[in-house]
Amino acid sequence: MTEHEGKKALDRLSSYIAATDPGTFFEERVGAFAALAEVEAIAAYVAELEAEVARCHTRLEVDHHYVLGDGEELQRVEIPPSERKGEVDGIEARDATIHEQDRQIDKLRALIAGLGTAQPPEDNG
């Protein structure tokens, strides 16, 4: 802003103040600045929350999936935030893996327990 433009802006502001009840003018401006500061603070907080959601989506591995591309190679494909609801997340996948491992371990334990009570083969020799 040039000095001339600054003087013009100051003249306009002075004219407006002169035509307005001083108490009302300043009360309105203080209220407007306070509201603006609050809106900016809220916007900053929302930005922080959005960043945290993005971090959590990445950690849960719901922000992408892999598809088989040309040449039989897996390619990472990003999932837009609006389409992430209902995606199987990393925790669900881990829980399913643990459940399957536990099931296999139980089968092996049963097999081992059965071997311990089995009769040895007779020696016909």
- Name the residue type at position 42: I
User: Of 96 and 8, which is predicted with more confidence?
Assistant: 96
Tokens (6 digits) for 16: 């407006």
Q: What angle do CA 47, 50, 51 make, to 5 degrees?
A: 85
**Which two three-digit tokens encode residue 34?**
């306070």
Give tens-digit pLDDT for 32-88.
777 788 888 888 899 999 999 999 888 888 888 889 888 888 999 999 988 888 778
18-22 contacts, C-beta under 8 A, 24 or more apart: none
Using pLDDT thresholds of 50, 70 and 90, give the confidence band for residue 118: low
Write out the H or E segment, with its range, that includes residue 76.
strand 74-78
Cα(125)–Cα(99) distance, integer angstroms: 46
Whether this prediction's pTM lies above 0.85 is answered by no
> The tokens of 109 are what?
């334990």
DSSP bridge partners of 66? 76
Amino acid at residue number 93: A
Q: Can you read off the two tokens belonging to residue 1?
A: 């802003």
Q: How far is CA 74 from the centre of its chain?
A: 24
- Residue 91, pLDDT score: 85
pLDDT in tens, 55-70: 988 888 888 888 988 8
Say what the pLDDT of residue 104 is.
96
Sign of dihedral through CA atoms 64, 65, 69, 74?
positive
